[in-house]
Amino acid sequence: MTKRFSSLLEVRSAIDANQITLPQLVDHYLDRISTQQQLNAILEVFSDEAKTQAQLIQDKIKQGNAGKLAGMVMAIKDNIVYKDHPASAASKILSGFTSLFSATVVERLLAEDAIIIARTNCDEFAMGASNENSAFGPVLNALDNSRVPGGSSGGSAVAVQADMCLASLGSDTGGSIRQPAAFTGSYGLYPSYGSMSRWGLIAFASSFDQIGPFTSSVSDMQLLMEVMAGPDAHDATMLQTKPDYAKASKGPLKIAYIKDCIEHPGIEAEVKQATEAFIAELKGKGHTVEGIDFPYLDSMVPCYQILTTAEASSNLSRFSGLTYGHRSSQATDLESTYKLSRTEGFGPEVKRRIMLGTFVLTSDYFDTYYTKAQKVRQLIRQKTLDIFKNFDVIITPTTSTVAFKVGEKSNDPIAMYLADLFTVQANLAGIPGLSIPYATHPGNQMPIGMQLMSNISNEGLLFELAKQFESKA
Ligand code: GLN
């Protein structure tokens, strides 16, 4: 899709050349937001604030004391809190909730003069792969309104796709940034687990969740990570050092692809062809590319589902109708407050996951499911890390199909869960995964993304490789 600007570099040179001012740029994005409401990507626009900030930051640019992100206009997913602003994780249970503080990543963005223009629609509590689970209705893919944008960060993906902002934030527990990035033709990153503070991210499954960006360029991705990542005392699961995002390789890379991914019966022929073309192109650029066996593919989604639902059932117990958000008006005592508030406030997918998670944690089934899945996760993690003894990067298609039709999978949760087939590996192992726009489906013109994964904290290699394909898709 045509965008006014594809990177902060372009914005800044246009501002420096007096072709546009920051207030005019904000007006451009506000205009895009208001003329594309049918996509349902945005839950709330912060127009007055964005305009005020634009004026202040424009002055700073003139005076030469603006931050690194001056000119970066962003939208944030509705599960990332922003002081004095509502956040609902696209759930009715958080209606009326306004945050008393900002997520660490939001504070870091603002400190470098980014402007936050809106909060975006998503699947309720980030549970979904199509954005059809929002309490505020589905988000539509801007390239074809009969198709989904992917999920759960579908609003953030479409905000970038449809030029409503320059970059956005999503969260990724099993693919919720990379899959919508692939479905909408943007860059999307699941950062190394522990490189991004989860302080201020409304938790889904804490040992998997990371916040990450959607961008239209690798340079913006690199810059945003540079600003946002790094230790934070508020999050005890953080890595002690920040990855070096500019770290370059010393020569051609050793790249592995997982044979089972390409041979998988669920993969669409055009996605398979694009992956083969990608492999050929990598070889053409001098990299070594080898197919490897990784016989755990079919265990990954079940393992992910058991562990994430278990964590979610615990994390979501805080929504009790007592402390914040929705409280049932029918409640008469403590127990009915819990029961009715949760019954009325949560949507069907969230209820399904709380039930599943509660089930796998019951004492009768704990060892059969939860403990077993923990062992499987450990095995997948170790086997994945072992690959990096011989290779720098693992590649897969980001998804096995292009964006599917609205309603196509909404009554089949298992089919929907399989949309995460290639993405959950990074979350299970804690390694970074970057989805890059690579090709378009020759029949329906929908984007096809490739996923690049590296060892923990080696995002620099992924950015370097992604740049080699930057004007491709
Ligand atoms: N689609 C996956 C799920 O439904 C991933 C969600 C996510 O990454 N937040 O769980």
Could you read off the pLDDT of 20-44 as tens digits, one per residue? 999 999 999 999 999 999 999 999 9
Instruction: Note whether residue 317 is domain-resident.
Output: no
Pocket of ligand 1 contains residue 148 by CB under 6 Å: no
State yes or no: is 313 an active-site residue.
no
419 band by pLDDT with thresholds 50, 70 and 90: confident
pLDDT on residue 391: 98
Instruction: Note whether residue 148 is domain-resident.
Output: yes
> What percentage of the chain exceeds 70 in pLDDT?
100
Instruction: Note whether residue 412 is domain-resident.
Output: no
Is 387 a residue whose pLDDT tops 80? yes
Instruction: Note whether residue 137 is domain-resident.
Output: yes
Pocket of ligand 1 contains residue 39 by CB under 6 Å: no
Closest atom, ligand 1, to C-alpha of 349: 4
| Residue of 81, 108, 373, 144 whose CA lies nearest to 227 | 108
Total domains, the chain: 1
pLDDT on residue 262: 93
Please compute the mean of the pLDDT values over residues 198-217 and round it to a whole number.
98
Considering 91, 153, 176, 197, which one is annotated as catalytic? 176
pLDDT tens figures, 80-121: 999 999 999 999 999 999 999 999 999 999 999 999 999 999
Is 472 a residue whose pLDDT tops 60? no
Q: What is the mean pLDDT of the chain?
A: 96
Pocket of ligand 1 contains residue 131 by CB under 6 Å: no
Instruction: Note whether residue 129 is domain-resident.
Output: yes
Token couple for 259: 């044979």
Q: Give the CATH number for residue 216.
A: 3.90.1300.10
Q: Whose CA is nearest to atom 1 of ligand 1?
A: 129
442 band by pLDDT with thresholds 50, 70 and 90: very high
Pocket of ligand 1 contains residue 152 by CB under 6 Å: yes
pLDDT on residue 38: 98
Instruction: Note whether residue 340 is domain-resident.
Output: no
Distance 446 CA to ligand 1 centre (A): 21
Ligand 1 pocket: which of 80, 122, 123, 127 to mutate (most atoms within 8 A of CB): 127
Residue with tokens 């490739």: 450
> Helix/strand/coil (H, E, C) string of the chain?
CCCCCCCHHHHHHHHHCCCCCHHHHHHHHHHHHHHCHHHCCEEEECHHHHHHHHHHHHHHHHHCCCCCCCCCEEEEECCECCCCCECCCCCHHHCCCECCCCCHHHHHHHHCCCEEEEEECCCHHHCCCCCCCCCCCCCCCCCCCCECCCCCCHHHHHHHHCCCCCEEEEEECCCCCHHHHHHHCCEEEECCCCCCCCCCECCCCCCCCEEEEEECCHHHHHHHHHHHCCCCCCCCCCCCCCCCCCCCCCCCCEEEEEHHHHHCCCCCHHHHHHHHHHHHHHHHCCCEEEEECCCCHHHHHHHHHHHHHHHHHHHHHHCCCCCCCCCCCCCCCHHHHHHHHHHHHCCHHHHHHHHHHHHHHCCCCHHHHHHHHHHHHHHHHHHHHHHCCCCCEEEEECCCCCCCECCCCCCCHHHHHHHHCCCHHHHHHCCCEEEEEEEECCCCCCEEEEEEEECCCCHHHHHHHHHCCCCCC
Strand order in the sheet with 42-45: 42-45, 115-120, 73-77, 167-172, 210-215, 187-190, 433-440, 447-454, 393-397, 254-258, 288-292
State yes or no: is 176 an active-site residue.
yes
pLDDT on residue 438: 98
Instruction: Note whether residue 2 is domain-resident.
Output: no
Is 201 a residue whose pLDDT tops 60? yes
Query: Cα separation of 259 and 262, whole Å?
Result: 5
State yes or no: is 152 an active-site residue.
yes
Distance 390 CA to ligand 1 centre (A): 30
pLDDT tens figures, 301-357: 999 999 999 999 999 999 999 988 999 999 999 999 999 999 999 999 999 999 999
Is 67 a residue whose pLDDT tops 60? yes
Closest atom, ligand 1, to C-alpha of 308: 10
Domain that holds residue 196: 8-228
Please compute the mean of the pLDDT values over residues 440-463 and round it to a whole number.
98
Instruction: Note whether residue 236 is domain-resident.
Output: no
Is 470 a residue whose pLDDT tops 70? yes
pLDDT on residue 2: 83
Pocket of ligand 1 contains residue 159 by CB under 6 Å: no
Pocket of ligand 1 contains residue 91 by CB under 6 Å: no
Considering 6, 88, 102, 152, which one is annotated as catalytic? 152
Q: What is the pTM of this model?
A: 0.97
Pocket of ligand 1 contains residue 172 by CB under 6 Å: yes
Distance 126 CA to ligand 1 centre (A): 6
Pocket of ligand 1 contains residue 387 by CB under 6 Å: no
234 band by pLDDT with thresholds 50, 70 and 90: very high
pLDDT on residue 415: 82
